[in-house]
Amino acid sequence: MNNKDSFLKQEQQLLPITWAITLACIITGAITYFINEHTVWLQWSILFHLITGIACSFAIFIFIVIHFRRTLAFRRVRVFISGLIILLIIITFVYSGWYLMLFGQRENQRWLYLAHIISSGLFLVFLAFHLFLHFILLPKRRKNASESLYPSITSNTVKVILVVNVTVQACVLTLTFLYQSSLEPYSDKPQVENYQYPYGEHPFRPSQTESSNKAFIDKNQIGNSHKCIACHEDVSKQWMSSVHKEAASDPSYVTNIKTLVNSKGISATRYCEGCHAPIALLSGELSPGGKHGAISNTMANQEGISCLGCHGINKLVHLKGVASYQFKPKQDYLFAQSDNALLTRLNNLMIRVRPNQHIKDLGKPLFKESKYCSTCHSQFMDKNMNNWGWVKMQDEYGSWLESPFSIQQEENFSDTKVSHCQDCHMPLTTSNDPSANKNGKIRSHNYPAANTFLPILRGDKAQLEQVKAFLQANKLRVSIDKPTRKDSLQTLYAIDEGLRDASEAPYYYYLGEQTNINVIVSNQGVGHNFPGGTIDINQAWLEFVVVDAQGRNIFNSGLIDNNNFVDKNAHFYRSLPVDKKGQLVWKHDLFNRIGESFKRVIKAGESDLVSYSFTIPSWIKSPITLTATLKYRKLNERYARWALKDKYVEIPVVNIAWDSLSIPIKIRQEVEDNKATE
């Protein structure tokens, strides 16, 4: 037997199984491409597409090597060239297939998936063309001979192809049936027996939360954020440092929830937990006998606002806040309920290679809109909580709508200049995440804002520095208005010619003179009121200090004393809520709140004018230096000591913006009497 006959025999042995596996790969691939309904059958088809794809890539290359060695001496150039083209196409779809299997589909590499689909189609086209050329260019003596036109194809080929493909589809159907039969349905019952409904028939009131199934949600459909880390490592690390993750374990929140439970019972915590611990609310824990989110070692406490706590939001109920969202569980991929390491890997693999349903469930267009944030960053209190009546509280979404950044005050509502909440609090950052855009950017899940004490409690210096940088990003400005004089000095001295080129009049003060200085604080870059959020317990104020040339104090306002308390006469930006008796609600026990005795904020795009008055002492050394600093501290000292208890730490003060002005001091001279000199 010569080499030609040996290669032919090898081809005849290999071709049936090669074509059978290739056809199985093509059929399962076509199913995954043309069928969009997310079913167990479809997912098993995807898995078998991967299995047959691996087998196909090895079998087809072995076959090609043998086939080329057998046909290399043939002098049919067009057939040979078409074979080379097929080889290039095979390299393309095999490489793209392996890459997609190992690394998954990525937003910034959609072309690779398209290359896989197109090259697979071209393979079929050029294979048919190659066989056609082989027939057309075959010598007449071969066409008229009794031997087969395609000697590699034996009578056994069709049988093998049918057996393999029927077996593959039978396996898919069998495994689909067995898998569906083994699945345990998620619970739609409350975690607590005899769940109570003190706020009416709605299971989640007084929270405004809804569920898509009009029932409770299994906690495993809201939590288990650790499963997201396998594919979204960068995003998960950012979330781990965020305030969202600490929303339920924040020690100040823990204290307030315990206060609420002691005053109104655990059912009342539903008001808070829809935002701070959606796992506890939606799973039906918030009833006597259950565990609220502030209890340690619970899933609700450890995850706070979990990955699915945000990404599971299906639509908004309304824009008034208090967790006003509808939650809809995502559809599972194969083995989603398993904790087995191998099956978990297979689950992640299925999501990576065909993320269509994953993106549909967890990447909704709603997430890019500012109103999405209104669900928890707007708030009101109703009579069923304060026993008084409806009271509006924080409303970042409403203040954003009124701001210049929303463009809702202009005629053209579709203006591309709109700045959304996400643009500031979820800035684009470079990442290798599968969801990264074509520029390799994702929305940061650190959520930089104004919480400076939680990063300190967990020793997260990087997050603390990021929050400080965010606060000092020139969105707020402080400027000291230069003083202007209404009097003038009359003398016989000649005017300095250099004054003619001055752009502004010189400013100065006299010894013993009463001054009046204006400081302007401008909110030019914050997309909502400043300060925002819980302004009753946060602390923002203006510090104003005047010293002479030797650093001796002349006047001050807003300094911090030795006990870490701010000067009570400082110019604060805050709210002072009161209860029915007019007493200050300083513990953030909002269920006692019925209104405010004082509120000062700076709206977006507006400024606040602050006036200071003091006398220039006779002992100072010229010039005097005026310094105005806008300061911020997350939690005022009184509340921090009460709420943090044994976890109390000295919370840093951040200088958000500042300005300084040096003013010369003169000795007043008597005006000369010209008549007397005459």
Into how many domains does the chain fold?
A: 3
154-201 pLDDT, tens per residue?
778 889 999 999 999 999 999 999 999 999 999 999 999 999 999 999
Interior/surface letters 434-451, b for 16+ CB within 10 angstroms, e for the rest: bbbeeeebbbbbbbbbbb
Q: Characterise 369 by phi-psi region: left (phi > 0), alpha (psi -120 to 50), beta (else).
A: beta
Give the count of beta carbons closer than 10 Å to the beta carbon of residue 107: 16
Does the pLDDT of residue 674 top 60, yes or no? no
**pLDDT band (50, 70, 90) for residue 408:** confident
Q: Within this chain, do residues 160 and 258 fall inside the same structural domain, yes or no?
A: no
Kindly state whether residue 456 falls inside one of the protein's structural domains: no
Q: Within this chain, do residues 120 and 24 fall inside the same structural domain, yes or no?
A: yes
361: containing domain: 210-447
More confident residue, 673 or 394: 394
- DSSP states of 478-519: EEEPPP--S-----SSPPPGGGGG-SS----EETT-EEEEEE
Q: Check which CATH number belongs to the domain holding 632 and give it.
A: 2.60.40.10
613-633 pLDDT, tens per residue?
999 999 999 999 999 999 999
Cβ within 8 Å of residue 76, ≥6 positions away? 133, 134, 137
Q: Within this chain, do residues 476 and 421 fall inside the same structural domain, yes or no?
A: no
**pLDDT band (50, 70, 90) for residue 70:** confident
**pLDDT band (50, 70, 90) for residue 463:** very high
Kindly state whether residue 676 falls inside one of the protein's structural domains: no
pTM over 0.75: yes
User: Residue 169 has what DSSP assignment?
Assistant: H
Q: Tokens representing 170?
A: 């039978």
228-250 pLDDT, tens per residue?
988 999 999 999 999 999 999 99
C-beta separation of 135 from 149 below 8 A: yes
Q: Within this chain, do residues 18 and 167 fall inside the same structural domain, yes or no?
A: yes
d(Cα 589, Cα 517) in Å, to the nearest integer?
39
What's the confidence (pLDDT) of residue 504?
A: 60
Lowest-confidence segment of 150-164, 207-221, 322-336 by average pLDDT: 150-164
Average pLDDT over residues 137-152: 57
Does the pLDDT of residue 671 top 90, yes or no? no
Q: Within this chain, do residues 277 and 415 fall inside the same structural domain, yes or no?
A: yes
What's the confidence (pLDDT) of residue 507?
A: 85
What's the confidence (pLDDT) of residue 629?
A: 98
C-beta separation of 353 from 101 below 8 A: yes
User: Residue 450 has what DSSP assignment?
Assistant: S
Does the pLDDT of residue 496 top 70, yes or no? no
Kindly state whether residue 192 falls inside one of the protein's structural domains: no
Comparing CA positions, the residue from 313, 309, 310, 327 lying closest to residue 211 is: 327
Look-up: residue for tokens 């752009």? Answer: 503
Q: What are phi and psi of 394, to 5 degrees?
A: -60, 145
More confident residue, 583 or 152: 583
d(Cα 447, Cα 466) in Å, to the nearest integer?
10
Strands 325-327 and 313-316: what pairing?
A: antiparallel
d(Cα 393, Cα 380) in Å, to the nearest integer?
5
Does the pLDDT of residue 416 top 70, yes or no? no
Kindly state whether residue 635 falls inside one of the protein's structural domains: yes
Q: Within this chain, do residues 276 and 370 fall inside the same structural domain, yes or no?
A: yes
Average pLDDT, the chain: 90
What's at 442, amino acid-wise?
A: I
d(Cα 669, Cα 492) in Å, to the nearest integer?
13
Q: Is the preceding peptide bond at 206 cis, omega within 30 degrees of 0?
A: yes
Q: Helix H segments across 265-340?
A: 270-276, 278-282, 299-303, 307-311
Q: Tokens representing 114?
A: 């398209």
Q: Within this chain, do residues 283 and 430 fall inside the same structural domain, yes or no?
A: yes
**pLDDT band (50, 70, 90) for residue 491:** low
Share of the chain above pLDDT 90, in %: 79
Hey, which residues does 553 pair with through a beta bridge?
A: 547
Kindly state whether residue 460 falls inside one of the protein's structural domains: no
Q: Within this chain, do residues 171 and 225 fall inside the same structural domain, yes or no?
A: no
What's the confidence (pLDDT) of residue 11?
A: 74
Kindly state whether residue 428 falls inside one of the protein's structural domains: yes
> Could you tell me the sign of the dihedral formed by the alpha carbons of 571, 574, 578, 584, in that order?
negative
Average pLDDT over residues 218-228: 94
Kindly state whether residue 458 falls inside one of the protein's structural domains: no
> Could you tell me the sign of the dihedral formed by the alpha carbons of 471, 473, 477, 479, in that order?
positive
- DSSP states of 4-63: HHHHHHHHHHHHHHHHHHHHHHHHHHHHHHH--S--HHHHHHHHHHHHHHHHHHHHHHHH
Does the pLDDT of residue 415 top 90, yes or no? no
Cα-Cα-Cα-Cα torsion 615, 616, 620, 625, nearest 10 degrees, comes to 100
Distances (CA, A) of 233 to 99, 242, 433: 19, 14, 7
Q: Within this chain, do residues 99 and 161 fall inside the same structural domain, yes or no?
A: yes
d(Cα 596, Cα 336) in Å, to the nearest integer?
49
Does the pLDDT of residue 540 top 90, yes or no? yes
Q: Within this chain, do residues 435 and 547 fall inside the same structural domain, yes or no?
A: no
d(Cα 114, Cα 436) in Å, to the nearest integer?
18
What's the confidence (pLDDT) of residue 495?
A: 56
Cβ within 8 Å of residue 613, ≥6 positions away? 514, 515, 516, 517
Tally of residues, the chain? 678
d(Cα 38, Cα 52) in Å, to the nearest integer?
21
Share of the chain above pLDDT 70, in %: 91
**pLDDT band (50, 70, 90) for residue 677:** very low
Q: Within this chain, do residues 386 and 261 fall inside the same structural domain, yes or no?
A: yes
Comparing CA positions, the residue from 394, 534, 463 lying closest to residue 243 is: 463
d(Cα 291, Cα 302) in Å, to the nearest integer?
13
Distances (CA, A) of 384 to 200, 206, 347, 580: 10, 8, 45, 15
Kindly state whether residue 576 falls inside one of the protein's structural domains: yes
Q: Within this chain, do residues 360 and 416 fall inside the same structural domain, yes or no?
A: yes
Q: Is the preceding peptide bond at 427 cis, omega within 30 degrees of 0?
A: no
Comparing CA positions, the residue from 609, 623, 613, 577 lying closest to residue 596 is: 577
